[in-house]
């Protein structure tokens, strides 16, 4: 019984009860009293049956809406939960043509009485409620029907709710809670009555036909027995006394049963406002107050679950940010950093797939560096490989975001743009550009881009194309990405830009730490690492390694005569000529001052002598052109070089030993007259291998300096004219 019905009964019991008893006591006839009481009972029963039927229709509408939301036209399996609750006996989806798409549960056979249509016939096997099913564009997909059977069980439920016998009219198999011959009598009398009218069966049963309408579509008849009071005057005093006591008891019970749940609900609301989300209210009844208590419990439970989910999401985000920070601080592997950034962005936004692309500054093409969830996102639903992820600046979604420098989010079918051939297929998207500094450390509008790449971004409002794009696709749950997701993605895109710039700075610092700033050659620190590495490689594969120690002759005189600026120019030019004359696999170093070292992998003493001859001729052939710091006039300075040659493993078993042997040979070359080269003595102080140097002269007293031009040269060196 609803709260409204309980209040009405309390009012009748406390106020109208004695009045009705008095009116009946003074009534002209017992028949009038009997008729009035019968009508009152039928009025209350009619109110109860309309309320019960309306509640049933509301439940069926809720079931139809839940089925449309859970399953729709794509997932009938999810609709089974609606039937299992149970909110309805069966659910059926009918397309716009009237054909059944699927049926869940056991709905009765048609015809059905529609809760929204009370003029659809007189005989029904079931009662239904339906909702229209439309897609995202508003196109009709059909109707979802939630159905309950019209049977004896329904009649019994209605009778229990109204306190009167209920008969479902229409058809040969009418359902009724009347017994015996009264079933047919009540049905016949009800067929002759208009809606709301009352009739009598002749056997003491009063019949009322219930009016049909929205929320009560069934043809129903209510029947009660006529009361024939006996010994009315004898028991009148007892009835009055009993009525008074029952009224007081009912008033007390109703007040208590109505106020108690409201008090409990008020206290629970206060506790919830204070932060206690675990509070629950006992559901004692099924009326409005009981439903309010159940709704409060559901709200508290969902709020608690939502808070728990937020806590888990926050912890996940913290873990990903911690992982991202650890990765940024512990590695300079660009691919690993970008992978962690993409994984963190996917986890933070709940996206199903994502890509991270960097722009090639020379071609204007966005090239995929890392991706996740690309299966089934290629053209035609096929796979998409990271190697195929290439998009021109200004083309498709990713190219437009990179060229304009503006982030975008939306639904492809609604907001566009048309996706490029190399882009992942998607339904929803969010894409954010970021500007990673180029090789020169500048992330300007077109700095570092080729002419083709610059032309690709013409026509966009923003003059600053991005160097990279971070894009996510299709959130779990069919929701679009929102502004909060875009803000989150901007954060991760900024991390990507900072990470790329840090890697560039780290590599540049590493390069500068290993490079001589004057000559551009590797410095002495890198010489030690490279010499160790090349010796290990030569030892592993059984190869030889030639080490050339070079020293410019009379370089102190150059500084003293022409100044240190001229000396620096000579050193830089000498380094340039070294790079020209050696192979790509050879390594050149500035050891310090005017001393240089060249490593020749897989080269023996004869090969080292050929390279030494070529290097000496290259520096000796053309004087170095410098400009006088005092007069500003150009001047050519003749320069020669002395070279010492040692070979691993002939002259040493370690890199340091071979380099020391080359230095000793260099000293011998300088002592022997400069402008030449010497090969170190083999271990054991045996004769120098001068005979292997293709005609180099050997004096009887020991190895001599071999002049530049004696090995692989057509003749003696020509004189160099020095211009004043």
* 284-293, 368-377, 508-517: segment of lowest average pLDDT: 508-517
Give the pLDDT confidence of 634-643 residue by residue, as tens digits.
888 899 999 9
Higher pLDDT among residues 490 and 693, named by residue: 490
Higher pLDDT among residues 52 and 699, named by residue: 52
Positive or negative: CA dihedral 235, 241, 247, 253: negative
pLDDT at 323 over 90: no
- Model pLDDT, residue 460: 41
How far is Cα 287 from Cα 120, in angstroms, rounded to an integer? 31
Q: What torsion, rounded to 10 degrees, do the Cα atoms 299, 302, 308, 313 define?
A: -120
How far is Cα 458 from Cα 465, in angstroms, rounded to an integer? 10
How far is Cα 183 from Cα 538, in angstroms, rounded to an integer? 111
The C-alpha angle with vertex 252 and arms to 250 and 253, in degrees rounded to 5, equals: 65
CATH node for 331-504: 3.30.450.40
* 42-51, 434-443, 566-575: segment of lowest average pLDDT: 434-443
User: Quick check: 697 and 711 in contact, CB under 8 A?
Assistant: no
Helix (H, G, I), strand (E, B) or coil at 478: coil
Mean pLDDT taken over the chain: 78
**Given the structure tokens 């503006």, which residue do they identify?**
406
Share of the chain above pLDDT 70, in %: 74
Chain-centroid distance of CA 253 in Å reads: 57
How far is Cα 465 from Cα 398, in angstroms, rounded to an integer? 12
How far is Cα 336 from Cα 339, in angstroms, rounded to an integer? 5
Beta strands in 53-168 (DSSP E): 90-94, 100-105, 112-114, 126-134, 140-149, 165-168
- Model pLDDT, residue 608: 94
pLDDT at 604 over 90: yes
* 72-81, 274-283, 291-300: segment of lowest average pLDDT: 72-81
pLDDT at 13 over 80: no
- The CATH number of domain 524-707 is 3.40.50.450: no
Total residue count of the chain as it appears in this document: 724
- Average pLDDT (264-285) is 84
Give the pLDDT confidence of 87-123 residue by residue, as tens digits.
888 998 888 888 888 888 888 888 888 888 776 677 7
- Average pLDDT (209-235) is 75
pTM for the structure as a whole? 0.38
Give the pLDDT confidence of 440-473 residue by residue, as tens digits.
333 333 344 444 444 444 444 444 455 788 899 9
- Model pLDDT, residue 540: 92
Neighbours of 171 (CB within 10 A): 14
pLDDT at 51 over 80: yes
Half-sphere exposure of 270 (CA within 13 A, CB side): 6
Give the pLDDT confidence of 123-161 residue by residue, as tens digits.
788 899 989 888 778 788 888 999 999 888 888 988 888
pLDDT at 364 over 70: yes
**Given the structure tokens 């052109």, which residue do they identify?**
625
How far is Cα 219 from Cα 100, in angstroms, rounded to an integer? 27
| The token pair that represents 40 in the structure block | 């009152």
Locate all alpha helices (DSSP H) within 200-333, ordered by sequence.
Answer: 232-273, 288-330
Q: Peptide bond before 505: cis, by omega within 30 degrees of 0?
A: no
* 449-453, 666-670, 690-694: segment of lowest average pLDDT: 690-694
- Model pLDDT, residue 711: 40
How far is Cα 38 from Cα 28, in angstroms, rounded to an integer? 17
- Model pLDDT, residue 314: 61
How far is Cα 123 from Cα 114, in angstroms, rounded to an integer? 12
| Contacts by residues 584-590 (CB-CB < 8 Å, ≥ 24 positions apart) | 586/611, 587/522, 587/530, 587/534, 588/521, 588/522, 589/516, 589/521, 589/522, 589/523, 589/524, 589/526, 589/527, 589/530, 590/516, 590/518, 590/519, 590/521, 590/522, 590/523, 590/524
- Say if residue 168 is exposed, middle or buried (CB neighbours under 10 Å; 0-12, 13-18, 19+): buried
pLDDT at 715 over 60: no
* 521-525, 614-618, 679-683: segment of lowest average pLDDT: 679-683
- Model pLDDT, residue 506: 67
- Model pLDDT, residue 236: 60
How far is Cα 466 from Cα 449, in angstroms, rounded to an integer? 11
How far is Cα 559 from Cα 166, in angstroms, rounded to an integer? 123
- Model pLDDT, residue 544: 95
How far is Cα 45 from Cα 61, in angstroms, rounded to an integer? 24
How far is Cα 301 from Cα 307, in angstroms, rounded to an integer? 10
Give the pLDDT confidence of 620-662 residue by residue, as tens digits.
888 988 876 666 678 888 999 999 999 999 999 999 999 999 9
| The token pair that represents 81 in the structure block | 């939960």
Share of the chain above pLDDT 90, in %: 16
Q: Where are the domains of the chain?
A: 3-225, 331-504, 524-707
Higher pLDDT among residues 570 and 202, named by residue: 570
- Average pLDDT (53-80) is 83
Higher pLDDT among residues 695 and 342, named by residue: 342
């Amino acid at each position: 019984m609803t709260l409204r019905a309980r209040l009405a009964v309390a009012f009748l019991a406390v106020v109208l009860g004695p009045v009705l008893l008095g009116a009946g006591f003074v009534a002209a006839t017992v028949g009038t009293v009997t008729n009035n009481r019968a009508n009152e009972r039928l009025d209350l029963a009619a109110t109860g049956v309309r309320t019960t039927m309306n509640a049933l229709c509301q439940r069926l509408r809720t079931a139809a809406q839940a089925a449309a939301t859970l399953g729709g036209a794509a997932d009938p399996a999810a609709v089974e939960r609606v039937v299992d609750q149970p909110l309805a006996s069966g659910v059926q989806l009918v397309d716009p043509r009237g054909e059944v798409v699927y049926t869940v549960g056991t709905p009765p056979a048609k015809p059905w009485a529609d809760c929204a249509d009370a003029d659809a016939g007189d005989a029904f096997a079931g009662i239904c409620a339906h909702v229209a099913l439309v897609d995202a564009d508003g196109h009709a997909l059909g109707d979802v029907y939630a159905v309950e059977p019209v049977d004896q069980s329904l009649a019994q439920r209605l009778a229990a709710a109204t306190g009167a016998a209920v008969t479902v009219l229409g058809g040969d198999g009418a359902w009724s809670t009347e017994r015996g011959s009264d079933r047919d009598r009540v049905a016949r009398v009800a067929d002759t009555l208009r809606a709301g009218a009352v009739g009598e069966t002749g056997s003491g049963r009063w019949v009322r036909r219930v009016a049909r309408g929205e929320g009560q579509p069934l043809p129903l008849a209510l029947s009660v027995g006529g009361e024939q009071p006996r010994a009315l005057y004898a028991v009148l005093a007892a009835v009055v006394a009993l009525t008074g006591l029952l009224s007081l008891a009912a008033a007390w019970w109703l007040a208590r049963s109505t106020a108690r749940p409201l008090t409990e609900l008020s206290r629970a609301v206060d506790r919830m406002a204070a932060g206690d989300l675990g509070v629950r209210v006992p559901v004692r009844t099924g009326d409005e107050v009981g439903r309010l208590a159940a709704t409060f419990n559901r709200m508290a439970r969902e709020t608690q679950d939502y808070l728990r989910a937020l806590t888990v999401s926050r912890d996940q985000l913290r873990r990903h940010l911690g992982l991202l920070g650890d990765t940024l601080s512990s590695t300079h592997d660009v691919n690993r950093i970008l992978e962690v950034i993409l994984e963190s962005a996917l986890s933070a936004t709940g996206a199903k797939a994502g890509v991270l692309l960097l722009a090639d500054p020379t071609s204007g093409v966005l090239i995929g560096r890392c991706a996740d969830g690309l299966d089934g996102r290629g053209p035609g639903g096929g796979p998409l490989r990271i190697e195929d992820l290439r998009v021109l600046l200004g083309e498709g979604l990713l190219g437009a975001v990179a060229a304009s420098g503006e982030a975008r989010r939306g639904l492809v079918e609604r907001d566009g743009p048309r996706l490029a051939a190399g882009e992942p297929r998607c339904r929803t998207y969010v894409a954010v550009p970021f500007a990673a500094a180029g090789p020169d450390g500048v992330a300007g509008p077109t700095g570092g881009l080729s002419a083709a790449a610059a032309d690709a971004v013409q026509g966009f409002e923003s003059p600053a194309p991005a160097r990279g794009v971070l894009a996510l696709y299709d959130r779990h749950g069919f929701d679009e990405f929102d502004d909060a997701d875009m803000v989150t993605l901007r954060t991760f895109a900024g991390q990507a830009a900072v990470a790329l710039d840090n890697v560039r700075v780290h590599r540049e610092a590493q390069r500068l730490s290993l490079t001589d700033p004057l000559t551009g050659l590797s410095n002495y620190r890198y010489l030690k690492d490279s010499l160790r590495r090349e010796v290990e490689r030569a030892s592993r594969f059984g190869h030889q390694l030639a080490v050339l120690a070079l020293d410019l002759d009379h370089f102190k005189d150059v500084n003293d005569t022409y100044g240190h600026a001229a000396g620096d120019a000579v050193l830089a030019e000498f380094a340039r000529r070294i790079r020209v004359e050696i192979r790509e696999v050879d390594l050149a170093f500035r050891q310090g001052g005017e001393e240089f070292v060249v490593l020749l992998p897989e080269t023996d003493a004869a090969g080292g002598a050929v390279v030494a001859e070529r290097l000496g001729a290259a520096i000796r052939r053309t004087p170095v052109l410098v400009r006088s710091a005092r007069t500003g006039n150009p001047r050519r300075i003749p320069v020669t070089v002395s070279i010492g040659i040692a070979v691993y493993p002939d002259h040493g078993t370690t890199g340091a030993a071979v380099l020391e042997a080359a230095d000793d040979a260099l000293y011998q070359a300088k002592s022997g007259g400069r402008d030449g080269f010497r090969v170190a003595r083999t271990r054991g102080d045996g004769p120098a291998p001068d005979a292997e140097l293709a005609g180099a002269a050997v004096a009887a007293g020991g190895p001599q300096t071999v002049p530049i031009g004696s090995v692989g040269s057509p003749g003696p060196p020509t004189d160099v004219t020095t211009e004043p």
